[in-house]
Amino acid sequence: MTPPDLSLLPARLSRLPELAHDLSWTWNTGREVFRRLDYLRWRQSGHNPVLMLRQMDLAGLERAANDPDFLAAYDRALLTMDAWRATGNGHAQTYWQSKIGTSNDQVVAYFSAEFALHQSLPIYAGGLGVLAGDHCKEASDLGIPFIGVGFMYPQGYFRQRVSPDGWQQEVYEQLDWANAPIHRAQTFDRKPCVVAVPLGTRTVLVQVWEVRLGRVRLLLLDTDLEQNQPWDRELSARLYSGGQDLRLQQEVVLGLGGVLALRALGLAPAVWHLNEGHAAFVVLQRLRDQLAAGASWETALVEVRRTTVFTTHTPVPAGHDAFPFGLVEQQLASCWGSMGDEREHFLALGTYDNGSGPQFNMTALAMRSAGAINAVSQLHGEVTRDMFAPLWPGLAEGDRPVGAITNGVHVPTWVAGDLSRLFDRHLGAQWRDRYDDPSFWAAVVDIPDEELWAVRQSLRDALFQFIRERARVRFTEAEVGAARVVAGGAMLDPHALTIGFARRFTGYKRPDLVFRDPDRLARLINDSRRPVQLVFAGKAHPADETGKHHLQNIFRHALDPKFGGRVAFVDDYDLHVAHLLVQGCDVWLNNPRKPLEASGTSGMKAAMNGVPHLSIGDGWWAEGYTGDNGWLIDGGVTGTDLDAVDQADADALYRLLETDVVPRFYERSTRGVPGRWLAIVKQSITTVTPRFSTRRMVKDYIERAYAPAFRR
Ligand SMILES: *Cc1c(COP(=O)(O)O)cnc(C)c1O
């Protein structure tokens, strides 16, 4: 890795690399700096300032160093960054400091297999990663002493391409470390942080990278070291690929390696937050440490429970990692040495029968060793207490120790700049500090309809510019053909009612439900005075054939003349595409098979941007729908006859579209403003922003999960 050539930088701009390497620029004033520095390179680099700085030439840098507007933005961004880092040293207190007191050396360590921070760091697959990333950003905003621990996957998750017949292609690109906003973590004696993890009968070396995110740091584990065997170097190459064996090995590295890395860096967590069962081997390393220090099994487990927080994320049984005992025995072979008779105790912590015989279940391990357990929506809480009932024999549903902290999204990350500026004008800039206060949002009703509508229109325009440009770029790529351009959205109408659907392509999310009655849909779509269009995006897991078939169906519908070029599939869904879609569509569609959506978060992002949710009452919408802030799809049929359920839900969806959504959108005043539509848009913003922000969510975690361990 070659560091950026700092000697080229004019002295006045000497802190640009520092700004580029602190990902808090993504939601603070830093974005403006890089846009202004060189707009073309900014776009070409995929909004990656680290890459962009490496590509800048001297002339461009000199120009910036003499441009007063640029320098003003630059100074502003540095001031913000420095003020943040200085809080607590005599500056204003953070939320954490006012609630819990100034920090000692203790931290919250947050483990997750994926983190979605920015598209330039492709170490996420979807919703779980976005939640983890947003949690870290909010932890920084609130001033929690907080360290994330995850993986540096140099090949990340895949980039998605679609073949001319609509079949998903997975492309893996090797990350160039020098272009990523990461640096090597260093121990106190300024050595690279490398730890040795026992795996099977061998030892795997793990190096630690670090990401800076405002007040928060993220540690990323990486096994690609020369000293490791070739197959071990590949261990952390990709996210969620390979079979059970690889998955288990990754989880051992994350759990054990993460604990060892924190120790090597001199960090002593007061709270260990396990985001999903992938990280549950943290418990194993912590138990080993206590036993090695002489504690009894009972004492060690009590201490681990007191300090472990576990968040579970899926009501789909297959979504919980479970491994055959033989495999676990094999991969943990050299851990047992120090555990003596405690090995059986440990295996018992993970033993669980989810219907296909007893296995070693990571969720069971986490639940049996955490003192605070939560699901990610109220409904998901009920489902989880029911689903894992065998873990607490004899306890009634209400007594089983699984709470619910409904997910949220990071408001400064997801609310569009144009809309934020509208809020600045009408709510006052203090909305940026007070957005989890519901009473504060009452003033949204007073925003003039014309102004709000103008912003909504401009956000839709930005989406269509992006869609057309992506279709054009794909056209220039070999062997793609004109069909791909049509399916990519080249014929969409920037003024028509646009329904967005973007999420992982998998069976229970029913991506093609809206096509269940093609004739009825075609009538809706092709109404010449009130046209409707559908924009889809999302990846199928590489091993999910059903998901890929759903995707291919969408692609074929997009090419079917029956739908008039008004159906599109935008490929390679990532954070960037997600931003454009949740801000630029008019309605956000979500039609999972209830109750399989634990929470869902894309609908929250959309709703905050004035893109009302049209959804089954599952996940967060079961508690978010108020009657006038969007639409509830309720077919009224439940049970095991899935075909009947699907039919009823599709009917309910068509009825809502025909009788309310479409007519409302096209009902315009003489000045062309849809007043009754905007009433829903305003309710959507008002009711969803405060309650489904990570500000509210992380405060809940502080109160209910973190503070008790700190306050003891
Ligand atoms: C928000 C987001 C998700 C999660 O959306 P769901 O509604 O939970 O399916 C997935 N991927 C990306 C890129 C996102 O931004």
Which residue's CA is minimally distant from atom 9 of ligand 1?
Answer: 503
Tell me the backbone φ, ψ of residue 222, rounded to 5 degrees.
Answer: -145, 130
For the Cβ of 503 lying below 6 angstroms from any atom of ligand 1, the answer is: yes
Tell me the backbone φ, ψ of residue 416, rounded to 5 degrees.
Answer: -60, 145
Q: Which CATH architecture has domain 107-160+170-407+698-710?
A: 3-Layer(aba) Sandwich (3.40)
Q: Is the dihedral of CA 93, 94, 96, 102 positive or negative?
A: negative
For the Cβ of 578 lying below 6 angstroms from any atom of ligand 1, the answer is: yes
Q: How far apart are CA 606 and CA 503, in angstroms?
A: 13
Q: How far is the CA of 601 from the centre of ligand 1 (A)?
A: 6
Tokens matching residue 32: 């403006």
Q: How far apart are CA 506 and CA 512, in angstroms?
A: 10
Question: Which pLDDT belongs to residue 3?
Answer: 44
For the Cβ of 574 lying below 6 angstroms from any atom of ligand 1, the answer is: yes
Q: Ligand 1 pocket test: which of 130, 509, 570 has the largest number of ligand atoms within 8 Å of its C-beta? A: 130
Q: What is the CATH number of domain 440-689?
A: 3.40.50.2000
For the Cβ of 512 lying below 6 angstroms from any atom of ligand 1, the answer is: no
Q: How far apart are CA 680 and CA 692, in angstroms?
A: 17
Q: How far is the CA of 512 from the centre of ligand 1 (A)?
A: 18
Q: Ligand 1 pocket test: which of 376, 505, 583, 602 has the largest number of ligand atoms within 8 Å of its C-beta? A: 602
Question: Which pLDDT belongs to residue 29?
Answer: 81
Q: How far apart are CA 534 and CA 206, in angstroms?
A: 45
Question: Which pLDDT belongs to residue 88?
Answer: 57
Residues in contact with 595: Cβ distance below 8 Å, sequence separation at least 6, in sequence order: 315, 379, 380, 383, 618
Residue appearing with tokens 């996940």: 619
Question: Which pLDDT belongs to residue 338?
Answer: 61
Q: How far is the CA of 582 from the centre of ligand 1 (A)?
A: 10
The domain limits of the chain are: 6-85, 107-160+170-407+698-710, 440-689
Question: Which pLDDT belongs to residue 1?
Answer: 36
Query: Per-10-residue mean pLDDT for the chain, 712 residues long?
Result: 62 94 91 93 93 91 95 94 74 84 81 95 95 97 95 91 92 91 95 96 96 96 96 92 92 97 96 97 96 94 97 92 95 79 91 93 98 98 96 94 98 97 95 92 96 98 95 80 83 96 95 97 96 97 95 95 95 96 98 96 98 98 98 96 97 98 97 97 98 98 92 64
The structure's pTM equals 0.97
Exposure string (b/e) for 639-678, b if CB count within 10 Å is 16 or more? eeeeeebbbbbbbbbbebbeeebbebbbeeeeeebbeebb
SS3 10: coil
Distances from the Cα of 113 to the Cα of 133, 152, 279, 336, 409, angstroms: 11, 10, 7, 24, 19
Tell me whether strands 146-151 and 106-111 are parallel, antiparallel or unpaired.
parallel
Question: Which pLDDT belongs to residue 86?
Answer: 78
Query: Which residue in 201, 241, 238 sits closest to 223, CA to CA?
Result: 238
For the Cβ of 127 lying below 6 angstroms from any atom of ligand 1, the answer is: yes
Exposure string (b/e) for 568-600, b if CB count within 10 Å is 16 or more? bbbbbbbbebbbbbbbbbbbbbbbbbbbbbbbb
Fold matches, 107-160+170-407+698-710 and 440-689 = yes
Question: Which pLDDT belongs to residue 104?
Answer: 64
